[in-house]
């Protein structure tokens, strides 16, 4: 394991592959964010009828044959698309790369619900005769399925697994990738998160039962973090995988470098199954800042987690006021207002959407705000329209999940 003083400590993002409800590449995604374009539509689900949801439209056939799509899962298809796009974007000479030195670290909130629901529904048509239960069930539902499908598709023989960290999983994938590179386990990490969760009815039904599922006549307006009239979560599918490399390796091959991962923090609330804890969130943010060697005022863009639940948004704002309340140069935004909650992908996707700010010095807003909830008053919340600022050196990304898993990732413009 290298230490902080070693040149091999520093980790950079060299490629991005993503699919979101409003874009299937970083350019498309960023374009939608700057144009205020949501991706949420009316989506038909089993037993729940029509709900607002974010649906991805990437071309599954670009990197998979029909049989692979048939045999695998949607999360697998998302992961393969993102991984292949990221490798292409990073301009890695994949044919020459030692495949045993590539790791796949994909965050997921859950995996297996889609397949299980489908199979239970299928055997219900045969009077619950288990002879009609698919032999595909087990390989489709093991928690490493999405990461595993990437290795099969790409011939990767290094380690692969999924990281289950609820809605923080996308950030945790990045953290895991950094750690494995620093440990010298791999030389290239495909890291981030994926989600197929909209293809279960259960996730919608459970949020509805908790009083946490958004509703709005116009689906594009349903996801309203910080707005006075927000009424819950919009569920979405999506994925984002980054290529992470040691800076030394990236420089050696003349790679394009989006940013350096300069710090992270992960902790747990230890409070409640579902309800978040502002104190622990603030603690997590401070952990990340300390890890990065930064002060709160050093952050230029802060991408919030906020899912538009009445309570969750308030707790995050309390945490943020605690850490950043005195700062006037920290610009705050949110991505879920556009794309809903992409579950395992959220941390990674939401970070990706801000990366182009290092070049265009623009903070994308949070949309769907008619009136900010007074309990969510935040200094420098960028509302509805993008904001050009003078400098973007450091971007901080919050992702918090059930059981109080908190994660914060900080990325910075590469210096020296």
Partner 1 sequence: MSRDEVRAAIIDILADIAPDEDFNAVDDEKNLREQFDLDSMDFLDIVMELRKRYNVEVPEKDYDELATMSRCVNYLQPLLTAARA
- The residues that are catalytic are 167, 305, 341
CA 47/CA 59 separation, integer angstroms = 28
- For CA atoms 88, 90, 95, 97, the dihedral sign is negative
* Binding flag, residue 101, partner 1 (CB under 8 A): no
* Residues in contact with partner 1, shown as a per-residue x/- string from 136 to 175 under the rule CB under 8 A: x---------------------------------------
In contact, 94 and 149? CB cutoff 8 Å:
no
Residue of 1, 57, 124, 132 that binds partner 1 (CB under 8 A): 132
Residue 139 CB, nearest approach to partner 1 (Å):
8
In three state form, how does the secondary structure of 341-374 look? ECHHHHHHHHHHHHCCHHHHCEECCECCCCCECH
Residues whose CB is less than 8 angstroms from the CB of residue 386 and which lie 6 or more positions away in sequence, other chains included: 33, 34, 362, 363, 364, 365
Considering only 4, 131, 388, 415, the residue that binds partner 1 (CB under 8 A) is 131
Q: Which of residues 299-328 bind partner 1 (CB under 8 A)?
A: none
Stretch of 62-70, 75-83, 144-152, 390-398 contacting partner 1, by CB under 8 A: 62-70
Under rule CB under 8 A, residue 286 binds partner 1: no
Give me the helix-helix angle, 145-154 and 74-89, nearest 10°. 50
- Number of neighbouring beta carbons within 10 Å of residue 311: 12
How many residues touch partner 1 under the rule CB under 8 A: the total is 11
In the complex, the smallest distance separating the C-beta of residue 65 from partner 1, rounded to whole angstroms, is 5
Q: Is 391 near partner 1 (CB under 8 A)? A: no
> Near partner 1 by CB under 8 A, which window of 7-15, 125-133, 188-196, 246-254?
125-133
Q: Work out whether 128 is an interface residue with partner 1 (CB under 8 A).
A: no
- Name the residue with tokens 């050196």: 393
CA geometry: angle 204, 209, 211, nearest 5 deg: 95
Q: Looking at the DSSP assignment, which residues form a beta bridge with residue 190?
A: 104, 243
Q: Which of 3, 4, 5, 66 binds partner 1 (CB under 8 A)?
A: 66
Candidates 3, 5, 67, 328: give the one binding partner 1 (CB under 8 A): 67
Nearest to 34 by CA among 359, 342, 366, 393: 366
Identity of the residue, 128 or 132, whose beta carbon is nearer to partner 1 in the bound complex: 132
Phi-psi region of 105 (alpha: psi -120 to 50; beta: other; left: phi over 0): beta
Closest distance to partner 1 from the beta carbon of 121 (Å): 14
Instruction: Report the residue number, 141 or 248, with the smaller CB distance to partner 1.
Output: 141
- Does 252 bind partner 1 (CB under 8 A)? Our answer is no
Q: Please, which residue, 134 or 384, has the CB nearer to partner 1?
A: 134
**Alpha carbon distance 310, 212 (integer Å):** 8
Q: Which is nearer to partner 1, 135 or 388 (CB)?
A: 135
Angle at 281 between CA 146 and CA 356, to 5 degrees: 60
Considering only 12-20, 67-75, 189-197, 398-406, which stretch makes contact with partner 1 by CB under 8 A?
67-75
CA-based end-to-end distance of the chain: 23
Look at strands 362-363 and 387-388 and give their pairing.
antiparallel
Compute the residue count for the chain. 416
One of 62, 65, 256, 385 touching partner 1 (CB under 8 A): 65
71 binds partner 1 (CB under 8 A): yes
Name the site residues for partner 1 (rule: CB under 8 A): 65-67, 70-71, 126, 131-132, 134-136
């Amino acid at each position: 394991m290298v230490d902080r003083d070693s040149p091999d400590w520093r980790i950079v993002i060299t490629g991005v592959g993503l699919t979101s409800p409003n874009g299937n590449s970083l350019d498309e995604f960023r374009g939608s964010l700057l144009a205020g374009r949501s991706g949420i539509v009316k989506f038909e689900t089993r037993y729940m009828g029509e709900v607002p949801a974010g649906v991805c439209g990437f071309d599954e056939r670009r990197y998979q044959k029909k049989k692979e799509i048939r045999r695998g899962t949607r999360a697998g298809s998302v992961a393969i698309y993102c991984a292949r796009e990221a490798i292409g974007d990073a301009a890695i000479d994949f044919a020459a790369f030692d495949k045993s030195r590539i790791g796949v670290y994909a965050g997921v909130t859950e995996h297996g619900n889609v397949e299980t629901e489908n199979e239970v529904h299928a055997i219900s048509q045969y009077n619950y005769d288990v002879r009609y239960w698919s032999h595909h069930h087990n390989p489709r539902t093991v928690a490493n399925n999405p990461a595993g499908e990437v290795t099969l598709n790409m011939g990767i023989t290094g380690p692969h697994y999924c990281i289950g960290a609820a809605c923080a999983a996308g950030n945790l994938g990045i953290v895991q990738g950094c750690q494995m590179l620093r440990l010298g386990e791999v030389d290239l990490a495909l890291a981030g998160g994926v989600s197929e969760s909209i293809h279960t009815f259960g996730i919608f039904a459970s949020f509805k039962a908790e009083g946490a599922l958004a509703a709005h006549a116009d689906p594009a307006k349903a996801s309203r973090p910080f707005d006075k009239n927000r009424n819950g979560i919009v569920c979405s599918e999506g994925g984002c995988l980054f290529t992470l490399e040691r800076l030394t390796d990236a420089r050696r091959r003349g790679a394009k470098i989006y940013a350096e991962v300069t710090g992270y923090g992960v902790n747990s609330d230890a409070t409640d199954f579902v309800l978040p804890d502002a104190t622990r969130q603030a603690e997590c943010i401070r952990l990340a800042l300390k890890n990065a060697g930064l002060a709160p005022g050093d952050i230029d863009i802060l991408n919030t987690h906020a899912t538009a639940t009445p309570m969750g948004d308030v707790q995050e704002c309390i945490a943020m006021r605690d850490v950043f309340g005195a700062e006037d140069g920290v610009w705050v935004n949110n991505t879920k207002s556009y794309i809903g909650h992409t579950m395992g992908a959220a941390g990674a996707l939401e970070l990706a959407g801000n990366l182009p700010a290092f070049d265009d010095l623009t903070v994308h807003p949070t949309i769907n705000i008619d009136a900010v909830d007074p309990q969510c008053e935040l200094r420098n919340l960028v509302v509805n329209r993008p904001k050009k600022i003078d400098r973007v050196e450091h971007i901080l990304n919050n992702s918090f999940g059930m059981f109080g898993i908190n994660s914060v990732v900080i990325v910075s413009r590469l210096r020296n």
